[in-house]
Amino acid sequence: MLPPSRDSEDLSNSLDLLDLPGNITWKGKIAFLDRDGVINKGYDNYVNNIDEINILPHAGESIGRLRRAGFRICVVTNQSPIGRGLWTHENLWLIHEHISKLLLIEDKDSILDLILYSPYAPWEGSWARKPNPGMLEAGRQIIDHANRDDSSKLKIFYDNDWTNRPDESESIMIGDRNVDYLASQSYGVNFFKCDPNIGIYDVISSVLGDENE
């Protein structure tokens, strides 16, 4: 199945969820976000180190707005340079740590609750690599488990092995590419496509509608 990976953690380890802004009660909504072209600028030759990180305008503000509207944030990103042997998991963790810091400088509520990534090359056929929905499936189960404050070991299920799935009618995915759309449709969440030169700010008003106006 080749499951997704998680920054510096075993995939099934307990996740510490911070309170949503204003201590609002989470009602199950998740915003699944692609990374490059949504949060930060993407490049044909990848984002290879922290010096190449360029946060897209108003990305932090937009993520803060999502959390203030009651969404948990789960980043789901294909990162094949690891599978291609170009660099390591540790290098990616440093990149994600820096992205998280830059977002918080812009908006103190722009917390990334969970970051999942597919380290596999396209030819490895991983269920975790978009356009497959494995990262979204895992993200939902990890966040739900953390919200229940369940001390038991989490077992993550995929595809037809995962039954009794929750209602995702209020969850969303934001991406800039067709593989993001296909993953969202396979998983069953509403998709918002953004301009990769603008990122999440391009669609945030459409996502929130009158909810945050």
Interval 18-38: pLDDT, tens: 999 999 999 999 999 999 999
**Catalytic status, residue 51:** no
Task: Look at 176 and 153; give whichever has higher pLDDT.
Answer: 176
Selecting among 7, 16, 34, 210, the annotated active-site residue is 34
Report the CATH fold assignment for 5-11+26-208.
Rossmann fold (3.40.50)
30-33 sheet: strands from edge to edge: 5-6, 114-118, 72-78, 30-33, 172-175, 190-193
Residues 6+ apart with CB under 8 A from 57: 198, 199, 201
* Residue 157: CB atoms within 10 Å: 14
Domain ranges of the chain: 5-11+26-208
If pLDDT is split at 50, 70 and 90, which confidence band does 213 have?
very low
Per-residue model confidence as pLDDT tens digits over 154-170 = 999 999 999 999 999 99
pLDDT at 211 over 80: no
pLDDT at 57 over 90: yes
Which pLDDT does position 109 carry in this prediction?
98
Selecting among 7, 36, 109, 202, the annotated active-site residue is 36
If pLDDT is split at 50, 70 and 90, which confidence band does 210 have?
low
**Catalytic status, residue 34:** yes
pLDDT at 212 over 50: no
Q: Are 17 and 143 in contact (CB under 8 A)?
A: yes
| Mean pLDDT, rounded, for 206-213 | 72
